Structure 1
């Protein structure tokens, strides 16, 4: 277990001299600074030269070794063996980690990290590669640190749209193309994303009369992460939220709507088989309040399950930013 509690990543360097600091290297690789220090201490992957005292600077050759380490561990090689190959600078190290037929893999372009190559991420933010590597290694401390840093730096909406969701989609593609493999990675990543969303969101906003959003998955639907990030983003903007999570029975949904009197009801459906139009229409037709001032909720169908012909009076949101805007625009002032 790594007991180093320093989190600035600079190892006391005063900024003089060439090369990168530990913190800069960690950000480039998309890992926690403590991970870089652990690889140095346990496997001898530290910089070739020190500038005196405990100051250290990482040269391009030093960083290249760490990039090989990241790529090899992401492909499933044990850390000790990956470190040995990284130190040796084996030209076919990625092929050693996952033998394949045909020509050797292409070398990475200069300045681009090969880390995270176990997943087809495409042209994404560097943080995606770090999150993917941590997930593939089942490295909980590094994954939590990277998710928290992305949310703090970019905000919930951008962190979800440009860092978390592309990584989740890449893991899903890997799972679908690999049979039963990588299921544990998808579950591990989803669990830590859920925790990061709750830790990164502010407390639930104080209720305002008639200004509540109810969020729930339709019956038979258990994919809650998109609703969790929506709930967190709305709380961040001061919108009171009632979150009911996965597979809420129809009767319970109706009861919750009657008891809370929400302005908006967001219903998530991942697949068309769970998207119940009659249920959405029933909720949209519910009324409450005194005679002459009756109110109805706006039902917001969320998720790919609702794709197809639009439902009158029910706005569609195709991404998180649109969903947040749709809810906010219907909150009474």
Structure 2
């Protein structure tokens, strides 16, 4: 195969293949005319193993060593463990093994060598920082647009750590890294951000059980989750919705850009224990709307009730919201809402 054909097959850039050749010796066995690369089936097998391992979060140097060993039949204990998917968990490994940034991402035009042979300062890396091993694998899979690997990484993280930890320590850092790369690369990573967001949403909905248990008499209403009018960013709400239902809490998820009139009507119909209003941007965060929802009442005269309003998202930062709650994280929101619902419930949740 040619380098271009192999790059398309693997979902990486030709420059990444050349980088792996220089750094790790994963080059082709044949070079036609002494110059053009031609990749044999054995070469392809090694690089497919390399991609599988790096997508699983294995550092590229380790993945290259394991892929080469597998090709020669001299697999070490660690290499066999990595190939079998039984590599030690991040918590069981030394801090030095949690490298800050994934190395091998498709370069932009600015990343190619200049006439002087020096590389641009804009390295083709996602600025992840000190994160879990899974973030590195998820970032590599996303940049390669490897949908099956992205889905597998996300599902595995939720199963292994639980939804709240997977969201805050795997999904969010990777999303932020992709967003920063998008902002600094002239919109070259838009497709990566869109695909990653879609798969996160898919996994969150897949793991969200649908409660079919009727609320007991006298129980408070469900937790209502809604984006304010004009707000389209739903992923944080989807994560909170999934975490609440995982804890047995009744919810009603209304999603993006809920009109004020519809939100008020839903609150009156449902009599919710709490209403979570998400605003990603200051331009969409409306305190008059939040106060209107907080003042919405239902029930018989003399026993009127109104919801607790929880404000979520950076759009509310710096706003004075007396009487409303602003938990800074998903775990905090989960704790606040669980306590609020259980304090008003006649018995145990569920």
Q: TM-score, normalised by structure 2?
A: 0.68
Does the Cα contact within 8 Å between 2:128 and 2:177 map onto a contact in 1?
Answer: yes
User: Residue 298 of structure 1: CA displacement?
Assistant: 0.4
Q: How far apart are the structure 1 equivalents of 2:53 and 2:149?
A: 14
Q: 1:297 aligns with which of 296, 307, 320?
A: 307
Q: Say if 1:96 and 1:266 are closer, same or farther in 2 by CA, change over 3 A.
A: closer
Aligned to 1:210: 220
Does the Cα contact within 8 Å between 2:224 and 2:274 map onto a contact in 1?
Answer: yes
Kindly report which structure 2 residues correspond to 1:181-260, keeping only aligned pairs within 5 A, or say none. 181-204=188-211, 206-208=213-215, 209-260=219-270
Note the alpha carbon deviations across 1:98-144, whole angstroms, 9 max, x for none. Answer: 436786699xxxxxxxxx96211111001000000010000010000
Aligned to 2:3: none
Does the Cα contact within 8 Å between 1:130 and 1:146 map onto a contact in 2?
Answer: yes
Q: How far apart are the structure 1 equivalents of 2:168 and 2:289?
A: 29
Aligned to 2:276: 266
Q: Secondary structure at the match of 1:212?
A: strand
User: Residue 309 of structure 1: CA displacement?
Assistant: 3.6
Aligned to 2:56: 31
Does the Cα contact within 8 Å between 1:76 and 1:136 map onto a contact in 2?
Answer: no
Q: TM-score, normalised by structure 1?
A: 0.71
Q: How far apart are the structure 2 equivalents of 1:50 and 1:153?
A: 31
Does the Cα contact within 8 Å between 1:272 and 1:306 map onto a contact in 2?
Answer: yes
Does the Cα contact within 8 Å between 1:264 and 1:327 map onto a contact in 2?
Answer: yes
The aligned length equals 265
Does the Cα contact within 8 Å between 1:47 and 1:58 map onto a contact in 2?
Answer: no
Q: Say if 1:159 and 1:296 are closer, same or farther in 2 by CA, change over 3 A.
A: same
Aligned to 1:177: 184
Does the Cα contact within 8 Å between 2:298 and 2:304 map onto a contact in 1?
Answer: yes
Q: Secondary structure at the match of 1:196?
A: helix
Unaligned segments of structure 2, at least 5 residues? 1-8, 11-49, 59-63, 83-101, 346-350
User: Residue 145 of structure 1: CA displacement?
Assistant: 0.4
Q: How far apart are the structure 2 equivalents of 1:117 and 1:177?
A: 11
Aligned to 2:72: 49
Note the alpha carbon deviations across 1:53-78, whole angstroms, 9 max, x for none. Answer: xxx54777xx8xxxxxx844x2259x
CA-based RMSD of the aligned residues comes to: 3.3
Aligned to 2:153: 146
Does the Cα contact within 8 Å between 2:111 and 2:120 map onto a contact in 1?
Answer: no
Kindly report which structure 2 residues correspond to 1:42-121, keeping only aligned pairs within 5 A, or say none. 47-50=70-73, 57=76, 71-72=103-104, 74-76=105-107, 98-99=112-113, 118-121=125-128
Note the alpha carbon deviations across 1:191-229, whole angstroms, 9 max, x for none. Answer: 000001111223336342323000000000000000000
Does the Cα contact within 8 Å between 1:171 and 1:186 map onto a contact in 2?
Answer: yes
Unaligned segments of structure 1, at least 5 residues? 3-24, 34-38, 64-69, 78-94, 107-115
Q: Secondary structure at the match of 1:264?
A: strand
User: Residue 45 of structure 1: CA displacement?
Assistant: 5.2
Does the Cα contact within 8 Å between 1:213 and 1:262 map onto a contact in 2?
Answer: yes
Q: Say if 1:132 and 1:124 are closer, same or farther in 2 by CA, change over 3 A.
A: same
Q: Secondary structure at the match of 2:142?
A: helix
